[in-house]
């Protein structure tokens, strides 16, 4: 844990293998805590965690707030609709108001790429010692989701020792609306860093060919990639081919709110070509895990029967694992 150097968690491009190991080890310890009775640790006593979600959220916001409470932090949450943003106050001035009230950690979600990073830069420049966690920005990044997906997979493959090594050499298929998915982008950094080979699958309108070059260049803003040997990324448009020999499958929501034109002919034809069902999974191992970050469009990305089948679906496990992962991130940033 002594190697942890991040002041903020804005994306996973800057994460080294040691960072993933640190977060997963800590999350595994928090995951073992009882979920009833005495379930609080005093680690963040006296700290204030403020959640600022400028975009809707069901899981991420409540999971961060619960994680903060489990570490005994005070929690404050901001609601954009009833705020002074509607009176013309700038985003930075609104955020500074919460910093002036004593926030130590800000969890920020925004529909525009780069907002958490710009806030972190502005607050650093003005000498504020507040840490910023990205709760999802535009199409760009959703680091806590990438980490909880990684943790869920590592626990599936290696329940007693869920380290990055559990992912090495695995074939992980990500299928769906990859173009609009910050979850897919965070997973690409995390999974390839741990040595998994990622197969991306989806129609050309939702999965541009350029995605194979995703990790060829150094991460944005860095001179070199902090990870030496990444897994490969390939594109396979045919889902049955992609699924052959897969160790895990992740499917993604069609982000209709981010589509400004008709990118699909119909939901039925999308489901026929790219929807996951029990029949489709026959090309994989008998109990292949299926992940989805939620919210799920039942019968579109995956059949209702598959979503409700605990022998495949890790969806609820992902939600559960989100809490210890976010506890680990809050703990590391507050301690730093």
CB of 252 to ligand NCD, least distance (A): 6
Q: How far is the CB of 180 from ligand NCD (least distance, A)?
A: 8
3-state helix, strand, coil in the chain (%, to 5): 40, 15, 45
323 touches 63 (CB < 8 A) = yes
Question: Which residues of this protein are in contact with ligand NCD, per CB under 6 A?
Answer: 59-60, 136, 142, 145, 182-183, 253, 255, 293-294
The first and second tokens of residue 179, run together, are 């173009």
Which is nearer to ligand NCD, 237 or 258 (by Cβ)?
A: 258
For ligand NCD, which is the closer residue by CB, 29 or 59?
A: 59
Minimum distance between the CB of residue 214 and ligand NCD, rounded to whole angstroms? 17
DSSP code for 230: P
- Looking at the Cβ atoms of 182 and 230, the one nearer to ligand NCD is 182
**What contacts 24+ positions apart, CB below 8 Å, involve 80-89?**
80/53, 80/54
**Distance in angstroms (rounded) separating the CA atoms of residues 233 and 211:** 8
The residue (of 181 and 225) whose beta carbon lies closer to ligand NCD is 181
Which 3 state secondary structure label does DSSP give 63?
A: helix
Which residue has its beta carbon closest to ligand NCD? 253
Smallest distance from ligand NCD to CB 193, Å: 20
Reported as type and span, the H/E element at residue 24 is helix 17-31
Q: In the complex with ligand NCD, which residue's Cβ is closer, 226 or 294?
A: 294
User: From the CB of 59, what's the least distance to ligand NCD, in Å?
Assistant: 4
The helix or strand, by DSSP H or E, that contains position 330, with its residue range, turns out to be: helix 315-335
User: Residue 38 and residue 161: Cα distance in Å, rounded?
Assistant: 25
Please report, for the chain, how many H helices and E strands are present, in that order. Answer: 10, 9
Q: Which residues pair with 109 in a beta bridge?
A: 53
Residue 263: closest CA among 202, 201, 314: 202
CB of 295 to ligand NCD, least distance (A): 6
With respect to ligand NCD, which residue has the nearer C-beta, 149 or 197?
A: 149
């Amino acid at each position: 844990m002594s190697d942890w150097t991040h002041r903020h968690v804005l994306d996973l491009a800057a994460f080294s293998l040691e960072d993933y190991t640190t977060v997963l080890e800590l999350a595994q310890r928090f995951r073992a805590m009882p979920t009833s009775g005495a379930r609080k640790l005093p680690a963040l006593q006296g700290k204030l965690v403020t959640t600022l979600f400028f975009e809707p959220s069901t899981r991420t916001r409540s999971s961060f707030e619960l994680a903060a409470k489990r570490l005994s932090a005070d929690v404050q949450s901001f609601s954009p609709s009833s705020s002074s943003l509607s009176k013309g106050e700038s985003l930075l001035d609104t955020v500074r108001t919460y910093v002036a009230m004593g926030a130590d950690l800000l969890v920020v979600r925004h529909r525009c790429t780069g907002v958490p990073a710009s806030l972190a830069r502005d607050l650093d420049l003005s000498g504020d010692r507040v840490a910023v966690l990205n709760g999802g920005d535009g199409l760009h990044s959703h680091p806590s989701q990438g980490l909880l997906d990684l943790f869920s997979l590592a626990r599936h493959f290696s329940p007693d020792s869920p380290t990055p090594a559990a992912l090495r050499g695995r074939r992980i298929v990500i299928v769906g609306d990859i173009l609009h998915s910050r979850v897919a982008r965070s997973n690409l950094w995390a999974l390839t860093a741990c040595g998994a080979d990622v197969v991306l699958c989806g129609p050309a309108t939702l999965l541009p060919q350029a995605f194979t070059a995703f990790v060829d260049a150094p991460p944005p803003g860095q001179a070199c990639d902090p990870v030496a040997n990444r897994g490969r990324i390939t594109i396979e448009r045919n889902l049955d081919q992609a699924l052959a020999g897969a160790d895990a499958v992740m499917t993604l929501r069609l982000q209709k709110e981010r589509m400004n034109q008709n990118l699909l002919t119909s939901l039925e034809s999308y489901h026929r070509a790219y929807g996951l069902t029990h029949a489709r999974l026959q090309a994989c191992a008998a109990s292949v895990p299926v992940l989805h970050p939620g919210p799920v469009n039942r019968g579109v990305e995956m059949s209702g029967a598959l979503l409700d089948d605990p022998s495949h679906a890790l969806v609820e496990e992902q939600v559960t694992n989100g809490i210890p992962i976010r506890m680990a991130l809050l703990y590391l940033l507050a301690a730093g």
